[in-house]
Amino acid sequence: TMNLQSLLLALILALAAPALSSGYSTREDARAIQEFKRLQALNHAKIARQLVHQANWASVGSISTNELVEGYPMVNIISIDDSDVNGNSTGRIRFLLTDLDFTGPDWQKNNKVTVLFTDEQTLNCKNAGKDPMEPTCARTVISGQVKKMDKSDASYKAALEAFEKRHPASLKWIITHSFYLCELDISNIFVLDFYGGPHKVSASDYYAIRI
């Protein structure tokens, strides 16, 4: 927070400097604040990308089709990967699903889901003495639509290879339980990394980040 405040002050001084001789400039002040907010947005996008890339799994919420809890929110754990074949982050959230599980039948009726990533998944928060519910224990909540990847698509083979490299156990899943590769078509991203409520991140800013 202190770094961001210092950055804001530096931007205001830098942008307003040419106008100091002629007095205070509200236009330059507003411009500096706008630039500061833009840098903040990019920082939140970077946090989202880092949380996704470092995670091996995510919590996923769907609307249940199970007759015992039909219409209720259903939560599940899915193994995820966003890497290319070299292990570099792409931001594209890919995962295997099966119709024998909860999420598989759910998305086929309503393909809108939400996935949660938190820094506590790697125990970073616990090791820093932070409770996982504290806003300073960074998390990102990403909503979108499940899209089953087409095996004939040019990106399919590389995506599956990257997933299997990160999750070797998945080599058996496809054969024995008819798992299929999916990707999340992102529609909304929230990032909470400090007090004051969540920040919205656009999908374009999220994908533009390089980590």
Q: Residue 88 is encoded by which pair of tokens?
A: 């570099």
Q: Would you state the pLDDT for residue 21?
A: 47
Q: What's the one-letter identity of residue 126?
A: K
Residue 134 has pLDDT above 80, yes or no: yes
As a whole number, mean pLDDT of residues 101-122 equals 97
The CB density around residue 34, as the number of other CB atoms within 10 Å, is 10
Report residue 51's pLDDT band, with 50, 70 and 90 as the boundaries.
Answer: very high
Q: Would you state the pLDDT for residue 1?
A: 47
Please indicate, yes or no, whether the overall pTM of this predicted structure exceeds 0.75.
yes
Determine the Cα–Cα distance for residues 188 and 184; give it in Å rounded to an integer.
11
Report residue 81's pLDDT band, with 50, 70 and 90 as the boundaries.
Answer: very high
Residue 108 has pLDDT above 60, yes or no: yes
Q: Would you state the pLDDT for residue 200?
A: 95
As a whole number, mean pLDDT of residues 91-117 equals 97
Q: What's the one-letter identity of residue 68?
A: L
Q: Residue 184: which residues within 8 A CB-CB, separation 6 or more?
A: 92, 93, 94, 95, 113, 115, 142, 144, 145, 146, 147
**Helices of type H across 55-169:** 103-109, 124-127, 156-166
Which of 1-10, 25-34, 157-166 has the lowest average pLDDT? 1-10
Residue 11 has pLDDT above 90, yes or no: no
